[in-house]
Amino acid sequence: MTRKELKILFREYPDVVSLPELCTMMGGIGDGTARKLLRSGQIKSLMIRSTYYIPKKYVIDYLLSDHYKMYQQELKHGIAVSEDRSVKEDTK
């Protein structure tokens, strides 16, 4: 998808989204996965007190990033990648 297509897809979302909105925008990922992406800085955000504020622009930036493309490939091929990026086959 292109930046233009993603802007159209997410036009109904506010310019700054919440954690639940981020999860929905990312295709229904879990809260823990979303928090991991935010804590690691893969998706830029602001945290005020204990609440994440995520500019929609940064969600789009992540969806266009190499990290996200690699994550999609890992899911497609059933490969889990640990934090140190070493590859492990899914044994399920």
Question: Bigger pLDDT: 78 or 67?
Answer: 67
pTM for the full predicted model = 0.78
Burial of 26 (0-12, 13-18, 19+ CB in 10 A): middle
pLDDT of 79 reads 60
Burial of 45 (0-12, 13-18, 19+ CB in 10 A): buried
Per-residue pLDDT reduced to its tens digit, 46-71: 999 999 999 999 999 999 999 888 88
> Is the pLDDT assigned to residue 88 strictly greater than 70?
no
Domain ranges of the chain: 3-89
Question: Bigger pLDDT: 29 or 72?
Answer: 29
